[in-house]
Amino acid sequence: MVVGAAGVGAKEEAVLIVAIVPYQKNSAIISDDNCYQLIQRIRRIRMTGLILYMKAAQELDSSDYVISRFLEAGESLGIKFTVCTPGEITFMTESRQLKLAGQNYPVPSFVIPCLLFDSYYKVAVVRQLESLGTYSLNPIDFMLKARDKLDTQQVLSAHGFPALKTKLVNLDRLARRFIPPIDISSVEQDLGYPVIVKNITGACGYGINLCNDEAELQNLVELIYLNNKQAKILLQEYISASSGSALRVYVLGGAVIGHMKHSSSNSFKSNYKADTKIEPFELTQEVIDMSVKIAKLFNLEMTGIDYLFDTDGMKVCEVNAFPGFKGLEKATGQDIATIVLKHIQQNLSSMKANEKK
């Protein structure tokens, strides 16, 4: 019998390890390596993860692919997951205690926020978790920066990356009398028609429109304003050569882990959907290097970078702070959920090792 005590991480109680093995003279079974492996297994089992999602755990169904994959991979890695909506969590800033559905909830080892961050409370919950020491692949401030499509294009352009020509619509003009509703006289010269109209934030291609001329653009923007006077609307150049198709490159930990080219035959939008066609595509070293640099520029440990195919090369369309990977797993056959969770485990282990130095 071997008895040993080991700490399993900061702010965690010690664990008494008792291993009973058959006695063998001069056996190598009882060794420091065996004890170390046992400790590592216990550490993995004790790791806890929180998935913040738009649905509560009991509402999950077959359409929630990414969540289901994380739960499957987590079970095989010994990670105990909790899935909930941000609204189920309450907290006090001066307390280290969280409550989930009114019950005390231990601070998790890490959080995976699968959210749009379309409310202040969702952001506040993630900020509180980070303040309590919960690890997140992408800190909330960097996720919010990438979510802003105008800010994304400004940063890309400022650092010399092939960004899309983008213009912010000044809806304030609509609230002032005797001034033309919006100044779109320069759109044809600056961006050309057709022109893309989209919200400054968003996901999955929702709300993206294509206007073929000035009259369509005028009518659409006025309609948006009548329904939401605080709307933030972007106009972007339309890359006709890439209509309905795009390339997504996934970066994790400073390295490209996969990519997919996807296309739609019935829409100008290139977002991945159930009927999207996945096509083979060979990445150039130039795109690989650019993707890694962009991830570093935006301080994103994990990101999916969307490229459009222009006649003279690639254009960066979006930088996604938490990309879905259903299409990537389908395209590559890789177990992306496990790859991501193992990366989180490695980062947490490294952080704990550094704390002890």
Tell me which H or E stretch contains 318.
strand 313-320
In tens, the pLDDT along 189-199 reads 899 999 999 98
Among 193, 217, 238, the domain boundary falls at 238
What pLDDT score was predicted for residue 13?
39
Closest residue by Cα to residue 67 from 339, 347, 326: 326
What pLDDT score was predicted for residue 41?
52
> What is the Cα–Cα distance from 117 to 126, expressed in whole angstroms?
10
What pLDDT score was predicted for residue 266?
72
> Do residues 82 and 71 lie in contact, with contact meaning Cβ atoms separated by under 8 Å?
no
CATH no. for residue 59? Answer: 3.40.50.20
pLDDT at 214 over 50: yes
End-to-end CA distance of the chain: 31
Give yes or no: residues 17 and 80 share one domain.
Answer: no
- In the sheet with 209-211, reading across from the earlier edge strand, the strands are 166-168, 233-237, 195-199, 209-211
What pLDDT score was predicted for residue 204?
63
Q: Looking at the domain assignment, is residue 221 inside a domain?
A: yes
CATH no. for residue 227? Answer: 3.30.1490.20
Give yes or no: residues 128 and 55 share one domain.
Answer: yes
What pLDDT score was predicted for residue 126?
97
Give yes or no: residues 59 and 83 share one domain.
Answer: yes
What pLDDT score was predicted for residue 132?
96
What pLDDT score was predicted for residue 49?
98
> Do residues 306 and 246 lie in contact, with contact meaning Cβ atoms separated by under 8 Å?
yes
Least confident of 26-30, 221-225, 327-331, 332-336: 26-30
Q: Looking at the domain assignment, is residue 91 inside a domain?
A: yes
Give yes or no: residues 17 and 92 share one domain.
Answer: no
Give yes or no: residues 100 and 120 share one domain.
Answer: yes
What is the residue-averaged pLDDT of the chain? 84
Q: Looking at the domain assignment, is residue 201 inside a domain?
A: yes
Closest residue by Cα to residue 246 from 194, 317, 313, 196: 317
Give yes or no: residues 52 and 132 share one domain.
Answer: yes
What pLDDT score was predicted for residue 36?
47
Quick one: tokens of 132?
Answer: 């309590």
In tens, the pLDDT along 90-125 reads 999 988 899 999 999 999 999 999 988 889 999 999
Among 238, 264, 290, the domain boundary falls at 238
- Residue 91 lies in domain: 48-136
Output DSSP code: residue 16: E
Q: Looking at the domain assignment, is residue 352 inside a domain?
A: no
Give yes or no: residues 78 and 113 share one domain.
Answer: yes
Least confident of 114-123, 248-257, 341-350: 114-123
Residues 6+ apart with CB under 8 A from 26: none
Give yes or no: residues 12 and 64 share one domain.
Answer: no
pLDDT at 284 over 80: yes
Tell me which H or E stretch contains 149.
helix 149-158
Give yes or no: residues 185 and 249 share one domain.
Answer: no
Q: Looking at the domain assignment, is residue 348 inside a domain?
A: no
Give yes or no: residues 262 and 199 share one domain.
Answer: no
For residue 252, CA distances in Å to 155, 255, 301, 342 come to 20, 6, 6, 11
Q: Looking at the domain assignment, is residue 71 inside a domain?
A: yes
* Upstream peptide bond of 194 is cis (omega within 30 degrees of 0): yes
Torsions phi, psi for 15 (to 5 deg): -120, 130
Segment of 171-175, 224-228, 247-251 carrying the highest mean pLDDT: 247-251
Q: Looking at the domain assignment, is residue 156 inside a domain?
A: no
Q: Looking at the domain assignment, is residue 116 inside a domain?
A: yes
DSSP per residue, 193-239: SSEEEEESS-STTTT-EEE-SHHHHHHHHHHHHHH-TT--EEEEE--
pLDDT at 85 over 70: yes
Give yes or no: residues 88 and 129 share one domain.
Answer: yes
> What is the Cα–Cα distance from 286 to 272, expressed in whole angstroms?
24
pLDDT at 78 over 90: yes
In tens, the pLDDT along 120-169 reads 999 999 999 999 999 999 999 999 999 999 999 999 999 999 999 999 88
N residues, the chain: 357
- Local confidence band at 31 (pLDDT 50, 70, 90 cut-offs): low
**Collapsed DSSP state (helix, strand, coil) of residue 251:** strand
What pLDDT score was predicted for residue 276?
73
Percent above pLDDT 70 for the chain: 81
pLDDT at 19 over 80: no
Domain count for the chain, please give it: 4
Output DSSP code: residue 133: T
Burial degree of 162 (CB within 10 A; 0-12, 13-18, 19+): middle
What pLDDT score was predicted for residue 309?
95
CATH no. for residue 277? Answer: 3.30.470.20
